[in-house]
Amino acid sequence: MDTDFHKIICNNEISNSPKAIALGNRIWVGCRCTVLKGTQICDDVVIAANSTVFGVFDETKIIIGGNPSKILKRNVTWKL
């Protein structure tokens, strides 16, 4: 979701503007994940099931997950 679907206005300014989501190549997203606005994830990343992901993840070959999201493992690869 790249938006909150509503506006919060403080001092006549919108304080929760939409922010783009940037996903790299070869990202494996587990079931029931939520990726929030402003999230940036580079290539070769696994997102664990049931995770709420937000923030910038600029490392490759990692598993991220949890609530809040964090790096769970490094130096991970996979094959189909």
Residues facing residue 65 across a β-bridge: 70
Measured distance CA(6)–CA(79) in Å, rounded: 41
| Residue range of the domain that includes 46 | 21-74
Q: What is the pLDDT of residue 32?
A: 95
Measured distance CA(56)–CA(69) in Å, rounded: 10
Q: Is the pLDDT of residue 60 over 90?
A: yes
Q: What is the pLDDT of residue 1?
A: 72
pTM, rounded to two decimals: 0.82
Q: Is 8 domain-assigned?
A: no
Q: Is 39 domain-assigned?
A: yes
Lookup result for tokens 């997102």: 47
Q: Is 43 domain-assigned?
A: yes
Q: Is 68 domain-assigned?
A: yes
pLDDT per position as a tens digit, 17-29:
899 999 999 999 9
Which position has the higher pLDDT, 75 or 3?
Answer: 75
Domain tally, the chain:
1
Q: What is the pLDDT of residue 58?
A: 94
Q: What angle do CA 45, 47, 51 make, to 5 degrees?
A: 155
